[in-house]
Amino acid sequence: MSTFRAPKGTFDLIPPDSAAFLRVREVMAQTVRLAGYQYVETPAFEDTTLFKRGVGESTDIVNKEMYTFTTQGGDSVTLRPEGTASVLRAVLQANLEKAGQLPVKLYYSGSYYRYERPQKGRYRHFSQVGAEALGAQDPQLDAELIILAVDAYRALGLKNVRLLLNTLGDATCRPVYRAALQDYLRALDLDEATRARIELNPLRVLDDKRAEVQAQLTDAPRIVDYLCEDCKAYHDEVRGLLTAAGVAFTDDPKLVRGLDYYTRTTFEFVHDGLGSQSAVGGGGRYDGLSELLGGPSLPSVGWALGVDRTVLAMEAEGVLERDVPRVDVFAVPLNDEARTLFFGVITELRRRGVSADTVFGGRGLKGAMKAADRSGARYALVAGERDLAENVVQLKDLASGEQSPVAVDQIIPTIKEKLS
Ligand code: AMP
C-alpha cells in the first residue's frame, strides 16, 4: 500500500464496481441518443466568470463550493461544478444555434467538482450524465427530456425514483410572484443570512431544509397561483404529456431553482433509499441563460443525472449487478505448445467479438484454474500434451463443471455457437 490516499470527498472507481458506473453512464447516454441527442465534451475547467454568471453569484455553488485557482499565467479558472454553463458556452462559441435545425440536442457525461462537505452520496468529485435541448420553447421538449430520464432509470431496473414537478413562471409572472413571496417572507422570524436571501434570491428560501423554516412556509404564496395564461397553458401541456406517457409525478410548489434565468418547467428526481442526499437528478428550463452569457435569445431545457447516486439507488433497490464476468472464455494452457495455440485462439475470439483472456507470467495449473474462476468466464479452454497429440482441446463449462473435447479447428465455431 502506498502512503497516498485519494483526496477527501473523492473515491476511485475500481473493479468490480467500476463496471456498474460505466453501465449507468452508458444506459443514460444510450437513452438520449435514441432521441437524437449528440455527444458534447467541454474542458474540465473554464473561466471562473462563466460559472459566476452561468450558475449565479447568489448560489451556494458559486459562493462556497467552487474549486477556483489562478493559473501560472495569472488567469482565474474553476473546475466545472456543473455542465449547463459550459455546454451553452460551447454552443454559442461554435455558433451551433445558427448552423442547423433547432433545438440543438446535446448530451454529456463526465466529472464535476464541488467543494462540499462530504457524506454518503455527496462528494467533491462526482459524475453526471446531462442532456440539453437548446433553442426551442415547446412543452413537448420539456416532456421529452423528463420522459427520457424516467426511461433511463427504468432501463437500469430502478422502480422507486419519484418525479417532483413545478413551474417557475416567466418574465411576465415571476416578478409579481417574487414580490408577493418577499412580502410574506419579510414578516417571518428568520436568521440574518436568510433575511439577506429574501432580498437576493427569495425563491431559494422555499428550498431551505430546516424544519423551523419549513414550519413557517406552509402558507407561503405558491407560484401556481400567480402564473400568467401562457405559463399556465404551457405547464398544463407538460403535465398532460407526462401523464399520457405513463409518467407519474408529484406537483411540488416548493421546488425551485433560485435564479432568474430559470423559467417555467423545473423538476427533480428523488429516491427515498438514499438518506439526506436523495436527489438523483434534476433539471429545468433556462430560457434566459444564453442572453446572460452574451448570446442571442436561446430558450432551452435540460437535466443532469447524478451517476454516483443512481448507483447508490440501484444498490438500495438490490438491482446493482456486482459480479459482471470479466470475459466469456478463459484459456488454460498446460504446456508451451498449448500456450502458443491458445494465444492465437483468444486473438481470433476477440476479433470475432467474444471476450477472452488467458494466464500470463507462467503460472501453474492451479493458479491458472483459479484465474479462470475469478474471471467469471462461462467457458475454460484447457489443453496439454495428450490433448494436442489428438488434435483436440478440452472445453469446460465452468458453471456445471462438464468438459468435452473439441477439435482444434472447431474451437471458434463451437464457442460462438454455445455463446449465441
Ligand atoms: P444539480 O446540478 O445540483 O442539480 O445536480 C444534479 C445531480 O447531480 C443531483 O441530482 C445529484 O444526483 C448529482 N450531484 C450533485 N452534486 C453532487 C455531489 N456533490 N456528489 C454526488 N452527486 C452530486
**Nearest ligand 1 atom, CA 268:** 10
For atom 10 of ligand 1, which residue has the closest CA? 281
When pLDDT is cut at 50, 70 and 90, the band that residue 29 belongs to is very high
pLDDT at position 201 is 85
**Nearest ligand 1 atom, CA 269:** 10
pLDDT at position 307 is 98
Instruction: Mean pLDDT check: name the lowest of 81-85, 131-135, 273-277.
Output: 273-277
45-47 and 76-79 beta bridge pairing: antiparallel
pLDDT at position 2 is 87
To the question of whether residue 339 is assigned a binding role by annotation, the answer is no
| Planar angle of CA 277, 281, 283, nearest 5 degrees | 125
For atom 8 of ligand 1, which residue has the closest CA? 306
Which three cell numbers mark 353?
467479438
Residue 88 near residue 290 (C-beta atoms within 8 A): yes
Closest CA to 260 of 153, 151, 178: 178
**Position 368: which residue type?**
A
To the question of whether residue 128 is assigned a binding role by annotation, the answer is yes
255, pLDDT greater than 80:
yes
Contacts of 405 (CB under 8 A, 6+ apart): 387, 390, 392, 393, 394, 395
pLDDT at position 10 is 98
Integer-rounded Cα Rg, in Å, for the chain is 27
259, pLDDT greater than 70:
no
Residue keyed to cell 417557475? 168
To the question of whether residue 83 is assigned a binding role by annotation, the answer is yes
Sign of CA dihedral 382, 387, 391, 392: negative
pLDDT in tens, 152-163: 999 999 999 999
Residue 254 near ligand 1, beta carbon < 6 Å: no
What residue ranges in 360-408 does DSSP mark as E strands? 379-383, 392-397, 403-407
CB burial of residue 318 (10 Å; 0-12, 13-18, 19+): exposed
Angstrom distance (rounded) from CA 29 to CA 208: 32
Residue 52 near ligand 1, beta carbon < 6 Å: no
Is the preceding omega at residue 103 within 30 degrees of 0, hence cis? yes
Could you give all domains of the chain from N- to C-terminal order, each with its CATH number? 17-173+227-317 (3.30.930.10), 329-419 (3.40.50.800)
When pLDDT is cut at 50, 70 and 90, the band that residue 258 belongs to is low
pLDDT in tens, 307-364: 999 999 999 999 998 878 899 999 999 999 999 999 999 999 999 999 999 999 877 8
pLDDT at position 401 is 93
Residue 162 near residue 250 (C-beta atoms within 8 A): yes
Q: pLDDT higher for 259 or 42?
A: 42
| Planar angle of CA 146, 152, 158, nearest 5 degrees | 110
pLDDT in tens, 98-156: 988 899 999 999 999 999 999 999 999 999 999 999 999 999 999 999 999 999 999 99
Residue 373 near residue 347 (C-beta atoms within 8 A): no
pLDDT in tens, 283-316: 999 999 999 999 999 999 999 999 999 999 999 9
Angstrom distance (rounded) from CA 335 to CA 364: 10
When pLDDT is cut at 50, 70 and 90, the band that residue 1 belongs to is confident
Contacts of 11 (CB under 8 A, 6+ apart): 123
| Start-to-end Cα distance in the chain | 42
280 Cα–ligand 1 center, Å: 7
Residue 224 near residue 167 (C-beta atoms within 8 A): yes
Residue 80 near ligand 1, beta carbon < 6 Å: no
411, pLDDT greater than 70:
yes
Residue keyed to cell 419549513? 214
Give me the chain's average pLDDT, please: 94
pLDDT in tens, 179-209: 999 999 999 999 998 999 899 889 889 888 8
257, pLDDT greater than 80:
no
Counts of helices then strands in the chain (DSSP H, E): 16, 16
